[in-house]
Amino acid sequence: MGLLCSKHQHSTKPDAENAQATGIERRIERETIAEKHIQKLLLLGAGESGKSTIFKQIKLLFQMGFDDAELNSYTPVIHANVYQTIKLLIDGSKELAQNETDSSKYSLSPDNKEIGDKLSEIGGRLDYPQLTKELSEEIEKIWNDPAIQETHARSSELQLPDCANYFMEHLDRLSDVNYIPTKEDVLYARVRTTGVVEIQFSPVGENKKSGEVYRLFDVGGQRNERRKWIHLFEGVTAVIFCAAISDYDQMLYEDENKNRMVETKELFEWVLKQRCFERTSIMLFLNKFDIFEKKVQKVPLSTCEWFKDYQPVSSGQQEIEHTYEFVKKKFEELYYQCTAPDRVDRVFKIYRTTALDQKLVKKTFKLLDETLRRRNLVEAGLL
């Protein structure tokens, strides 16, 4: 009996192993087939272009959004943004007071100087304290100081993050002991992307036959992060290039002698000339239009070297549209200058975007999805 049992055990072991191996092979085959149907999107752009906000919007719009743990993880980030903002303004006011002829208007009131020094010291730390009611009241007091408001009016010279106004207006809520960040707070939260992050989604919902499934890769936009881009360049369906059009009067965080828009122009030109993108669709997001439309009414577009030939033609909304069309045309001309005649069949689309506007981002990705699906049908000979 023992011998019979022994023979039986030996005969079934290879069968079990073969079945397991076959199961693994089938699973790999299924996954390989599924992978072939996933379109790869690469999100590129210079630092501060709004790429990460677009990425967060995709998570909110086409996935399950942020759970409580993820929302709570943004609390220290948001508090850090508050401390960093007020430090930039305090230090900026000191610098302007030293260098400007009318120095008095950039000097903190005597009552606020001690608080200003304290908050500047906190903002320079590596670890920030939790934002308490007492600290938020002090920050609000400094924020409302006339010298800080005068300094804020020159924010384009200070590397001030776009979230500054938003968080300063919500200090009371942000400092509540039971504070949990809202979705809007998370969208405004600023943390520099390092490395590569990815997300899989479908603009018409998961597993819908009418839409494609996309895998979107976001990489850091600062110069020191761009070396990480190269290994992602193969097999890309489309490049989504974010250009912050409101940055035409600002300098780089990494190089305060280089205009951000000129850097964006050069980076877009470099992307267009990559051989691996010869037939890759290029989707250009002219982002931060909400900031742009306010800024162009105060700061001439010709401030930027690339736009020095711009001539105003009107005022108000008509002038805003004219400036936008001028910027759009500049990018179009650059695209065709950098596109060889044999590459003209690749898809090129321009979208006006505001990364914080959820409805607009949703509409933009629906249009992008339709464009890429149509291209797939053309390439398959079905259109």
Per-residue HEC secondary structure of the chain comes to CHHHHHHHHHHHHHHHHHHHHHHHHHHHHHHHHHHHCEEEEEEEECCCCCHHHHHHHHHHHHCCCCCHHHHHHCHHHHHHHHHHHHHHHHHHHHHHHHHCCCHHHHCCCHHHHHHHHHHHHHHCCCCCCCCCHHHHHHHHHHHCCHHHHHHHCCHHHCCCCCCHHHHHHCHHHHCCCCCCCCHHHHHHCCCCCCCEEEEEECCCCCCCCCCCEEEEEEECCCHHHHHHCHHHCCCCCEEEEEEEHHHHHCECCCCCCCEHHHHHHHHHHHHHCCHHHCCCEEEEEEECHHHHHHHCCCCCHHHCHHHCCCCCCCCHHHHHHHHHHHHHHHHHHHHHHCCCHHHCCCCEEEEECCCCCHHHHHHHHHHHHHHHHHHHHHHCCCC
Spot the catalytic one: 75, 159, 182, 222.
Answer: 222
Kindly indicate the confidence band of residue 67, based on its pLDDT and cuts at 50, 70 and 90: very high
Angle at 113 between CA 110 and CA 117, to 5 degrees: 170
Which of 8-12, 149-153, 312-316 has the least mean pLDDT?
8-12
Topology, domain 68-188: GI Alpha 1, domain 2-like (1.10.400)
Residue range 323-348, pLDDT digits in tens: 999 999 999 999 999 987 766 668 99
Q: Is 192 annotated as a binding residue?
A: yes
Name the packing angle between helices 358-379 and 51-62 (round to 10°).
80
In this model, does residue 8 exceed pLDDT 60?
no
Q: Does residue 278 have an active-site annotation?
A: no
Q: Does residue 182 have an active-site annotation?
A: no
Spot the catalytic one: 138, 218, 247, 293.
Answer: 218
Question: What mean pLDDT do residues 298-314 have?
Answer: 95
Q: Is 159 annotated as a binding residue?
A: no
Pairing label, strands 281-287, 348-352? parallel
Domain ranges of the chain: 40-63+206-374, 68-188
Residue range 207-258, pLDDT digits in tens: 455 568 999 998 876 666 666 677 777 889 999 999 999 999 999 988 889 9
Q: What's residue 4's pLDDT?
A: 42
CA dist 124 → 80, 118, 251 (Å): 10, 10, 22
Q: Is 48 annotated as a binding residue?
A: yes
Q: Is 50 annotated as a binding residue?
A: yes
Q: What's residue 219's pLDDT?
A: 83
Residues contacting residue 369 through CB under 8 Å, at least 6 positions apart: 203, 204, 211, 212, 214
CA 201/CA 213 separation, integer angstroms: 6
Does 233 or 365 have the greater pLDDT score? 365
In this model, does residue 24 exceed pLDDT 70?
no
Name the packing angle between helices 110-123 and 75-99 (round to 10°).
130
Across all residues in the chain, what is the average pLDDT?
88
Q: What's residue 124's pLDDT?
A: 95
Q: Is 53 annotated as a binding residue?
A: yes
Does 373 or 186 have the greater pLDDT score? 186
Does 29 or 366 have the greater pLDDT score? 366
Q: Does residue 132 have an active-site annotation?
A: no
CA 67/CA 73 separation, integer angstroms: 10
Q: Is 162 annotated as a binding residue?
A: yes
Full-prediction pTM beyond 0.75?
Answer: yes
Q: Is 202 annotated as a binding residue?
A: no
The side-by-side arrangement of strands in the sheet containing 38-45 is: 196-201, 213-219, 38-45, 238-244, 281-287, 348-352
Q: Is 219 annotated as a binding residue?
A: yes
Q: What's residue 378's pLDDT?
A: 74
CA 143/CA 173 separation, integer angstroms: 16
Topology, domain 40-63+206-374: Rossmann fold (3.40.50)
Q: Does residue 234 have an active-site annotation?
A: no
Q: Is 27 annotated as a binding residue?
A: no
Determine the length of the chain: 383
Cα-Cα end-to-end distance for the chain: 70
Spot the catalytic one: 53, 85, 250, 364.
Answer: 53
Q: Is 49 annotated as a binding residue?
A: yes
Q: Does residue 222 have an active-site annotation?
A: yes
Spot the catalytic one: 39, 48, 260, 323.
Answer: 48
Backbone conformation region of residue 381, classed left if phi is above 0, alpha if psi is from -120 to 50, else beta: left
Q: What's residue 379's pLDDT?
A: 74
Q: What's residue 2's pLDDT?
A: 45
Q: Which of 140, 151, 154 is nearest to 89 (CA)?
A: 151
Spot the catalytic one: 39, 138, 190, 369.
Answer: 190
CA 281/CA 262 separation, integer angstroms: 23
In this model, does residue 26 exceed pLDDT 70?
no
